Structure 1
């Protein structure tokens, strides 16, 4: 058994949750905050059999997209507040997944 921790943008969370349910995968969705843009994220905790890991990753990949976002440089580098005022385009979104072994699984 494996535990998948998938960190995704809020914008993709509803669609991902629906697709996981359609695929008969149970998941727990937790609100989280990203460290880079300090924006809203969701962390999905998904327990699956080892042979189903690729199926879950395929669903995540199909439903979690990267997108461009403009931010002010002062948000990224506060020390540059006086010299940089034009917004900068950055890539956000997608998914970051951690796959961990599970020693024991119990459901009550």
Structure 2
């Protein structure tokens, strides 16, 4: 068994959830926030057979598209993310898409 963690931009979450559920994957959905841009994300947790990992990744690729967005460049004051400030200069970054982590799952029980 494998544990798949998918972190995707919030605007992709509804479509990704529908796609995974349509293919009969059980999942848990969590709200999350990205560290750099501080934008809303959704994190999905799925447990599946090793043979199904590639299918989950392909479904995610089809739904979780990226786009370019212009944002204020952050300036870090040296004491961590809590004091991140906008610098006023604009930078173009790629947003959206998904980050997929696949890990061994020793045991899972639905209780």
Q: TM-score range by the shorter chain?
A: 0.7 to 0.9
Q: Counterpart of 2:106 in 1: which secondary structure?
A: coil
Q: Which sections of structure 1, spanning at least 5 residues, go unmatched? A: none
Q: Counterpart of 1:37 in 2: which secondary structure?
A: coil
Question: What are the equivalent positions in structure 2 for 1:1-108 lying under 5 Å apart?
Answer: 1-73=1-73, 76-77=74-75, 85-108=88-111
| TM-score, with structure 2 as normaliser | 0.86
Give the 4+ runs in structure 1 shifted more than 6 A. none
CA drift of 1:77 comes to: 2.1
CA drift of 1:86 comes to: 4.2
- Whole-Å Cα distance in 2 between the matches of residues 53 and 100 of structure 1? 10
CA drift of 1:107 comes to: 1.4
| TM-score, with structure 1 as normaliser | 0.88
Q: Which sections of structure 2, spanning at least 5 residues, go unmatched? A: 78-84
Deviations 1:29-65 (A, max 9, x none): 1000000101100100011011011111111111101
